Amino acid sequence: MRRIGLLLKRSEEKAVLLGAKMCHFLKESGKEVLLEESCKELAVAWSANVTETLPDEVDLLVVLGGDGTILRAAALLNAKPTPVLGINLGRVGFMAEVSPDEAISELKSAMAGTALLVKRMLLQITLPDGKTARVLNELVIHWGGIARLIDLGIRPGNSREIELRADGLIVSTPVGSSAYSFAASGPLIHPDVEGILLTPICPYAGLKRPLLIPAHLETEIVLKRGEDLTLTLDGHTTVDLQQNQSIRVVRSQLPFVMVKTKARDYFDVLKEKLGLL
């Protein structure tokens, strides 16, 4: 690995301090360090470079923040599945599971090629205008204003249409099953199990329980009734939707590759982060 990217939660002082420490270590190791274009001041102070296409330009992306910063890293992926090392400086750290104390040792393993790399499924969404987007956790269809029931038609592959009348719908990856879907009484799904989870929000009629469908099926979701609807992607991007429009969801051909710590497994994380098991 020759070029290492640092993606920071700039509002978090601990992220900046740890970023400076990791940048110093990388420079001493003979690596080129790249930051986002918005971090020009830090780049000057750290003798690093900046780029507008950070994940595409580096061999490893180190994320300093929390799960929200991991989701931002996933949204920046474009042309290649750049491995991501998530350092947890947030409250939960379900995805960014490496602690600050483990940061340098995990970074050394990644650069030496001895780190454990795992692939996580991304969802690709085709919007009504034909544009596409990817999410690591989930997409949510809901009212943008006053909470009311909405009517949706869900068609997985070539199957018959499944009706849903509810406050909204969460469409999540296995990784995202531990986020909003879990709060809406959806099941936890091990991230090695590929599938697309449909979790209705306060269902009234039609689909009344979460449904896991095969990841390879392209699922069409038609907005049957409702105005001022909003599509939220991984909690950071919103798209206005209109009645009778539709979106399509399928597994992305581009995976999200993460550096997985060997210090704990998925079930350890469930116990430590969510207080389960």
Catalytic residues: 67
CB atoms near residue 147 (< 10 Å): 11
Instruction: Yes or no: say if 204 and 221 are a contact pair by the CB < 8 Å rule.
Output: no
Alpha carbon separation from 75 to 30, 55, 81, 136, 273 (Å, rounded): 29, 10, 12, 8, 24
- Residue 124, H or E segment: strand 123-126
CA distance 180 to 170: 8
CA distance 154 to 228: 19
The 8-class DSSP code of residue 37 comes to G
| DSSP-assigned letters across all residues of 62-126 | EEEE-HHHHHHHHHH--SS---EEEEE-SS--SSS-B-GGGHHHHHHHHHHT-SEEEEE--EEEE
| DSSP-assigned letters across all residues of 213-227 | E-TTS-EEEEEEE-S
